[in-house]
Structure 1
Amino acid sequence: MSAQQGPSEAAEHRTATVEQGRFCAARCSCGWRGPARRARSKARSDAEEHAARP
């Protein structure tokens, strides 16, 4: 995250899950990437936990 982003841009996290072969990973608009998971539900919970952090 660059120092030039405003507070509203820094606080907004848009997460999604991405299929990678047999694995699924969570990614965020801020550049964060979660670990590859076999369970899609775990990748979604990783994304939810990331978005909930300040």
Structure 2
Amino acid sequence: MPQQDPGAGSPAHLTTTVERGSFAVARCTCGWSGPARRSRDRARTDARGHAESP
């Protein structure tokens, strides 16, 4: 189930973390998708990094 990353970015960058089997992937409403990670925390970090970048 997707989880909203609280406080991540502006309305243009709403990120979620999606699980695919044993991997977690960060995604954004702008179309960006991070790499698959075994660590959910690392996927959330990827999402925060994306939302904070200009």
Please indicate the TM-score interval, normalised by the length of the shorter structure: 0.7 to 0.9
Distance 2:22 2:39 in 1: 9
Q: Which has the larger radius of gyration?
A: 1
Whole-angstrom distance in 2 between the partners of 1:39 and 1:25: 9
Structure 1's consecutive aligned runs of 4 or more residues displaced over 6 angstroms after TM superposition are none
- For these two proteins, the number of residue pairs brought into alignment is 44
TM-score after normalising by structure 2? 0.78
TM superposition score normalised by structure 1: 0.78
Give unpaired runs (5+ residues) of structure 1.
1-10
Over the matched positions of the two proteins, sequence identity in percent amounts to 59
State the Cα RMSD in Å.
0.9
Q: Which runs of 5+ in 2 are unaligned?
A: 1-9
